[in-house]
């Protein structure tokens, strides 16, 4: 049994909060730069160049790449042979508290969804736990801005709707979102499970490298089909037109009930922040 202190987890979470908000992941940089090379519309090209300039400034000057530094979404894969000395949830929230304070990151969380009083430290974090084999903890921190989060959708399709129903729903979700999620976007799609499970699948889909493809050839092809259809909408960077509406479509699936076909769409802007550390 390996022991890990709560203080160590706080230290890692604090650092990841700052890093995730200031340094855009390499997979996102690569997708944006490739899109610029393929983008034929001058206005869209100009916006993509500004996006590249922005993330370079953020990294070089260690400033947030976006003013919305998001809700702190924390995904943990905890080895079953790990013992944590201390309260794990408190340790995570303390790391978020310190990271958003010391990194001068915007505090965006309100204590109650209706009374709307700011917690002033961006806690509590949105925490998701998975128990896996081993004696390590894999921590992924993904700050989620709400310009894109607000465009999320979920639908309980009928099994008879099939793949065409899934395609229509995902494309419709992006079309209705328009310029609101600050395109170019990454589209996370969850298919299967239950109402809540498919929403989590869509969220987790955004953690996958944007320049990767689904390991299942069937879903890899579906990702390409969706990406082509979304980019054919012509929304373009920041909604000013062009062929670069989405940088990637990532699909995650899970077994489901014979009577259902749940589908969720979780959109992220080009600032698809995610950073992982294993301790």
Average confidence (pLDDT) over 200-214:
96
Terminal alpha carbon distance of the chain: 14
The confidence score (pLDDT) of residue 99 equals 98
The confidence score (pLDDT) of residue 208 equals 96
The confidence score (pLDDT) of residue 113 equals 97
Structural domain spans, the chain: 2-20+65-144, 147-272
18 within 8 A of 105, measured Cβ to Cβ: yes
**How many CA atoms, within 13 angstroms, populate the side-chain half-sphere of residue 112?**
4
Report the C-alpha gap between 20 and 194 in whole angstroms.
Answer: 30
Provide the percentage of residues in the chain whose pLDDT is more than 70.
Answer: 100
The confidence score (pLDDT) of residue 75 equals 98
**Average pLDDT over the chain, rounded to whole?**
98
SS3 126: strand
| pLDDT tier, 53 (very low <50, low <70, confident <90, very high otherwise) | very high
Q: Could you read off the pLDDT of 214-255 as tens digits, one per residue? A: 999 999 999 999 999 999 999 999 999 999 999 999 999 999
The confidence score (pLDDT) of residue 91 equals 98
The confidence score (pLDDT) of residue 2 equals 96
- Which ranges of the chain would DSSP assign to H, the alpha helix? 6-22, 26-38, 42-61, 88-102, 146-149, 162-177, 195-205, 217-231
The confidence score (pLDDT) of residue 142 equals 98
Average confidence (pLDDT) over 132-155:
98
Average confidence (pLDDT) over 28-47:
97
261 within 8 A of 168, measured Cβ to Cβ: no
191 within 8 A of 260, measured Cβ to Cβ: no
The confidence score (pLDDT) of residue 59 equals 97
Q: Could you read off the pLDDT of 176-195 as tens digits, one per residue? A: 999 999 999 999 999 999 99
SS3 142: strand
Q: Could you read off the pLDDT of 87-138 as tens digits, one per residue? A: 999 999 999 999 999 999 999 999 999 999 999 999 999 999 999 999 999 9
Helix axes of 88-102 and 6-22: crossing angle, nearest 10 degrees: 40
Report the C-alpha gap between 152 and 202 in whole angstroms.
Answer: 9
The confidence score (pLDDT) of residue 65 equals 98
C-alpha distances out from residue 172 to 143, 229, 230, 233, Å: 25, 10, 9, 10
The full DSSP string for 75-106 is EEEEETTEEEES-HHHHHHHHHHHHHHHTTPP
The confidence score (pLDDT) of residue 69 equals 98
The confidence score (pLDDT) of residue 31 equals 97
115 within 8 A of 166, measured Cβ to Cβ: no
The confidence score (pLDDT) of residue 87 equals 98
Helix axes of 162-177 and 217-231: crossing angle, nearest 10 degrees: 40
Provide the percentage of residues in the chain whose pLDDT is more than 90.
Answer: 100
C-alpha distances out from residue 24 to 38, 86, 279, Å: 21, 32, 22
Tokens 């809700």, residue? 71
Report the C-alpha gap between 214 and 187 in whole angstroms.
Answer: 13
């Amino acid at each position: 049994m390996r022991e890990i202190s709560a203080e160590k987890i706080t230290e890692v979470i604090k650092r990841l909060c700052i890093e995730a908000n200031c340094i855009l992941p390499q997979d996102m940089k690569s997708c944006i730069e490739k899109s610029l090379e393929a983008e034929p519309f001058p206005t869209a090209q100009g916006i993509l160049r500004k996006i590249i300039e922005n993330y370079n400034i953020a990294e070089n000057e260690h400033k947030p790449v976006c003013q919305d530094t998001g809700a702190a979404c924390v995904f943990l894969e905890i080895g079953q042979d790990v013992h944590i000395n201390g309260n794990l949830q408190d340790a995570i929230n303390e790391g978020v508290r310190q990271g958003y304070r010391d990194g001068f990151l915007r505090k965006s969380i309100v204590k109650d969804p209706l009374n709307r009083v700011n917690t002033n430290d961006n806690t509590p974090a949105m925490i998701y736990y998975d128990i896996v084999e081993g004696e390590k903890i894999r921590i992924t921190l993904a700050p989620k801005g709400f310009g894109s989060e607000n465009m999320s959708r979920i639908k309980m399709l009928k099994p008879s709707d099939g793949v065409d129903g899934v395609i229509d729903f995902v494309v419709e979700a992006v079309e209705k979102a328009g310029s609101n999620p600050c395109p170019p976007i990454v589209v996370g799609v969850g298919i299967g499970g239950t109402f809540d499970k498919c929403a989590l699948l869509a969220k987790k889909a955004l953690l996958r490298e944007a320049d990767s493809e689904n390991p299942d050839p069937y879903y890899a092809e579906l990702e390409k089909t969706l990406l082509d259809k979304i980019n054919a909408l012509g929304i373009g960077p920041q909604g000013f037109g062009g062929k670069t509406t989405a940088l990637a479509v990532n699909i995650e699936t899970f077994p489901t009930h014979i009577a259902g076909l749940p589908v969720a769409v979780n959109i992220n802007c080009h600032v698809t922040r995610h950073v992982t550390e294993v301790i």
